[in-house]
Amino acid sequence: MDLTLKVWRQKNAKEKGHFETYKVKGISPDSSFLEMLDILNEQLITEGMDPVAVEKGCKSSGPVSFDHDCREGICGACSLYINGRAHGPDDEVTTCQLHMRKFKDGDTITIEPWRSKGFPVIKDLVVDRQAFDKILQAGGYVSVRTGGVPDANAIPIKRENAEESMDGAACIGCGACVATCKNGSAMLFVAARVSSLALLPQGKVEAARRAKAMVAKMDELGFGSCTNTRACEMECPKHITVGHIARLNREYLSAKFKD
């Protein structure tokens, strides 16, 4: 496959970014999207070191910076906006799970970082996602003393509650919900984290404080409000539903009424 790539380049958070166009050739349809970017970077490094290529007018601005870690759809680091969709033109996958067979030979692919006030660009396609960590630190935990390791069946929990809690815990914090939402809202992420604890006995002790603290921190960090367009649900690689947002709203309002 021969492709044209329009890639967002930005030196740092303070400088203005711009798109640069690159050509890559001979890409295997079985390659992952990140492997294709690796090939592009090898090409850019070679052009920058090759005096003949420089004489022919090849302008290399250095390899493209992009985030990745596990490359198995687990860590959520591979946060790219591809052809107007978070994680690209496939459903329920992260960018590292996206394969080039989803594109056609000769395609032009536009690659951008997440666009959100809460996720400032660090360099090129890398954004600062520490905001999610700060939201979790505000209340996404339990502080009970467990002592020794208890038996798995020591605390009876309804099966439907356990399964729904695990659905919320499946969130990998990639930020696709924020990047997709027209308001840049982080409600689906916060709701998933609240649900994963609100449905379990261990999470009841701090339930009221948790909902208020996490929503307050989300607002403080510049994320927008939820207007129920459900775009976040459509692009979530783990298919976390907006039903969790309904639970977050109930938890939050309940806590406010108690105040």
- Going by pLDDT thresholds of 50, 70 and 90, the confidence category of residue 146 is low
Cβ(194)–Cβ(204) below 8 Å: no
Give residue 231's pLDDT: 95
Predicted TM-score of the model (pTM) = 0.89
- Sorted by sequence, the CB contacts under 8 Å of residue 82 that are 6+ apart come out as 33, 88, 89, 95, 98, 109, 110, 111, 112
- 3-state secondary structure at position 34: helix
Give residue 58's pLDDT: 54
pLDDT at 206 over 80: yes
pLDDT at 6 over 80: yes
Burial of 251 (0-12, 13-18, 19+ CB in 10 A): buried
What tokens were used for 25? 């050739």
14-39 average pLDDT score: 95
pLDDT at 59 over 60: no
Cβ(245)–Cβ(252) below 8 Å: no
Higher pLDDT, 142 or 71: 71
- Give per-residue pLDDT as tens, 221-244: 999 999 999 999 999 999 999 999
93-113 average pLDDT score: 97
- 3-state secondary structure at position 51: helix
Q: Please give the share of the chain, as a percent, with pLDDT higher than 70.
A: 94
- Going by pLDDT thresholds of 50, 70 and 90, the confidence category of residue 48 is confident
**Distance of alpha carbon 180 from alpha carbon 113, whole angstroms:** 12
